[in-house]
Structure 1
Amino acid sequence: MSTEARDARRYHALPSPFAMKRGGALHGARVAYETWGRLSEARDNALLILTGLSPSAHAASSPEDPSPGWWEGMIGPGKAIDTHRWFVICVNSLGSDKGSTCPASVDPATGRPYRLSFPELTLEDVANAAFEVVRHGLGIERLACLVGCSMGGMSALAYMLLHPGTVRTHVSVDTAPQAQPFAIAIRSLQREAIRLDPQWNGGDYDIHAADGGRYPDIGMSIARKLGVITYRSAMEWNGRFARIRLDPEQREDEPFGFEFQVESYLQAHAQRFVRTFDPNCYLYLSRASDWFDIGEYGGGDVMAGLRRIRIERALVIGVSTDILFPLEQQEQIATGLEAAGARVDFVALDSPQGHDAFLVDIPNYSRAIGGFLAAL
């Protein structure tokens, strides 16, 4: 059997120049995406998924790439997002290093990586780039459904506001209409950890360095650990690890070294992530999440901004244990969309997995999302 890596990614060239919300423009930029299922002759069965900060466009396996996707349990024949019925599109965010143009990409004007010369990135830019894929790359005038998860849920709100009439229904998953102080504080610390790593070197590290090159491994590791801590709930941390200590031979032989299993878990998780995501991309997308505020479209009022969105139906899902995007923010989205005239289903789950529940608690999310889509 061949072990050659396979890639189902496709690419859409963005218009050049591609203007950015906060100024500047990209030239020769592109966006990576993957698709599953078949687009109907009427082009009325398209479902677009916008992702969280770090996932690629590979949301599920396919004949072109049989490796499991980040939402494998949710997408496929007979699953909640049934590819026998839906033409599913997942777009890699502009600014992400998973195939789309990003700070690690080569600037055609200089022949060198953009690094910090990349224009300031917003989630509105992410939304506009995704719209270009749907409208001009795939020729789809109106999405049957737009699904947004975590950061992607904020991008989805921007998409619907900036491109009215192009979305029929919406599934909002563990997201927010604006970042609250706790989420901003956590992401600020993550960015600080990266920036204060001497190997970050003002963004001028070895982008493709193998182990041993100039690369902010420590900063990225700390940033990832902070993220993982907030992605799960205290209930789950207690249930999984309690105060269990490492076996003596597993402990670090240095002052203040790891002693508890939870410390070892976080370290292993961080090590798997550090070299798989570009640090500058992390900084740009993290800040874009903090900047997003749908209240900007309602004269400073979040509810007024939400009331500008015109769709037929929506499903809004939140988790009671989510400390990063609290349940009351999901309620706010549901109330705002309903006030705008949409028929809204609101589902509050009690999953112990916190913010990451949509990636872990597939049975409960499948029931909610699959039931909603089946009724369309």
Structure 2
Amino acid sequence: MTEFIPPGTRWFDLPSPFPMKRGGALHGARIAYETWGALDATASNAILIVTGLSPDAHAASNAGDPEPGWWEAMLGPGKPIDTDRWFVLCVNSLGSCKGSTGPASTNPDTGQTYRLDFPELSVEDGADAAAAVVRGLGIERLACVIGNSMGGMTALALLQRHPGIARSHVNISGAARALPFSIAIRSLQREAIRLDPNWNNGDYDDATYPESGMRMARKLGVITYRSALEWDGRFGRVRLESDRRDDDAFGLEFEVESYLEGHARRFVRRFDPNCYLYLSRSMDWFDAGEHCHGDVLHGLASIRIDRALSIGVRTDILFPLQQQEEIAEGLRAGGCDAAFLALESPQGHDAFLVDIERFGPAVRRFLQAL
């Protein structure tokens, strides 16, 4: 598996051994990260960004890498997350294949790729790793932790497990626990990968790679990342200009099919299948009410922060709006000044990546008030 690590990436060595929530420990593990802006004299202007499943740490261009990042329009001088004021840190998730230690990394105990020998991964492990980076950079308390999608789960775990690590929180299209629909979709994605003969119980290489399984998994994901309204508006029932080949009776016929195929093919060789399996399952396992007899509101109320903003999108079917409302409600029960914002974006779950006209002002207003 070829790793795709941005040139501006830096690494933080995690404590060794690094204990994992569900058992086992990592030795010689590291977390990939990037930074923007300058830390002030009291280290009180730091913002941590924790990401969804697939992004790397390159959220925006910087001195180490001038290429645009996955949140370029949101982060930088004068932008909603203004690096003229804030020191911003973005970490790549533990378990990923974008620089942080994960199943695609070398196990120092054997000299071989971890593959399925990697310990069971939880969202909480990613939160503990992010906390280690924050502390290791000399930051005692973050001004804010911002989490998108899976990162919203990681941020909540971070705040639960490391009291006092942040003064405020922005949760964007996140959740305090996985709902059955989301679990079902991710289960099908994982099944598509595992049923590909080339997956071979995790033992594959670039020559025998589970490409079909990854394509199907990615297509399923992309379908849920956008809304039916978005799909209809972009593609309608427009057919491809070229006729179907006679030897492919059920081949691509509509433009939406071609879009999904192209999107999937660009992704499959840029993300390790085993890492995908581990990270996907970690989201299904996460429950902020786990230590409160399954009472998620009680679990959220145990978090102690000053202010929070929970943002959701009405067209999001993967992390539906009631989950962001639940986060705000639970945080308020713990004494936090927590606001809930429902946006009308048609783009569904991925709106925070593309609908900056709606998300940008909301995040800017919140951070300016800190």
1:299 paired to 2:293: yes
1:241 paired to 2:235: yes
Q: Distance in 1 between matches of 2:167 and 2:291?
A: 20
TM-score normalised by L of structure 2: 0.97
1:248 is displaced (CA, Å) by 2.3
Secondary structure, aligned partner of 1:93: coil
Q: How many residues align?
A: 366
Partner of 1:185: 184
Contact 2:23 2:120 in 1 (8 A): yes
Secondary structure, aligned partner of 1:33: strand
Q: Distance in 1 between matches of 2:245 and 2:237?
A: 15
Partner of 1:288: 282
Q: Distance in 2 between matches of 1:290 and 1:176?
A: 11
* 1:269 counterpart (263, 271, 292): 263
Secondary structure, aligned partner of 1:317: strand
Identical columns (%): 67
CA distance change for structure 1 residues 357 and 6 in 2, over 3 Å: closer, same or farther?
closer
Q: Distance in 1 between matches of 2:245 and 2:354?
A: 29
1:175 paired to 2:188: no
1:196 is displaced (CA, Å) by 0.2
1:222 paired to 2:216: yes
Q: Distance in 2 between matches of 1:17 and 1:325?
A: 34
1:346 is displaced (CA, Å) by 1.4
1:7 is displaced (CA, Å) by 1.3
Q: Distance in 2 between matches of 1:333 and 1:26?
A: 31
1:251 is displaced (CA, Å) by 6.0
1:297 is displaced (CA, Å) by 2.6
CA distance change for structure 1 residues 252 and 114 in 2, over 3 Å: closer, same or farther?
farther
1:64 is displaced (CA, Å) by 1.2
Q: Distance in 2 between matches of 1:184 and 1:230?
A: 12
Contact 2:58 2:90 in 1 (8 A): yes
Q: Distance in 2 between matches of 1:311 and 1:63?
A: 32
Q: Distance in 2 between matches of 1:25 and 1:241?
A: 47
Structure 1 residues 26-82: Cα deviation after superposition (integer angstroms, max 9, x where no partner): 000000000000000010000000000000000000121000100000000000000
Structure 1 residues 312-365: Cα deviation after superposition (integer angstroms, max 9, x where no partner): 000110000000001001100000111111111211001000000000101110
Letter in 2 for 1:201: N
Letter in 1 for 2:271: F
Partner of 1:93: 93
Contact 1:9 1:34 in 2 (8 A): yes
Secondary structure, aligned partner of 1:346: strand
Contact 2:244 2:251 in 1 (8 A): no
Contact 1:313 1:344 in 2 (8 A): yes
1:52 paired to 2:66: no
Partner of 1:14: 14
Partner of 2:110: 110
1:249 is displaced (CA, Å) by 4.8
Partner of 2:349: 355
Task: Map 1:325-344 to 2 at 5 A.
Answer: 325-344=319-338
Root-mean-square deviation (CA), in Å? 1.1
Partner of 1:120: 120
Partner of 1:278: 272
1:299 is displaced (CA, Å) by 2.0
Secondary structure, aligned partner of 2:71: coil
Contact 2:6 2:58 in 1 (8 A): no
Letter in 2 for 1:186: I
Q: Distance in 2 between matches of 1:90 and 1:269?
A: 25
Letter in 2 for 1:8: G
Q: Distance in 2 between matches of 1:23 and 1:335?
A: 32
Structure 2 unmatched runs, 5+: none
Contact 1:252 1:258 in 2 (8 A): no
1:139 paired to 2:133: no
Partner of 1:150: 149
Q: Which range moved further: 31-40 or 248-257?
A: 248-257
Structure 1 residues 247-291: Cα deviation after superposition (integer angstroms, max 9, x where no partner): 125768512011101000000000000000000000000000000
Secondary structure, aligned partner of 1:49: strand
Partner of 1:62: 62
CA distance change for structure 1 residues 295 and 275 in 2, over 3 Å: closer, same or farther?
same
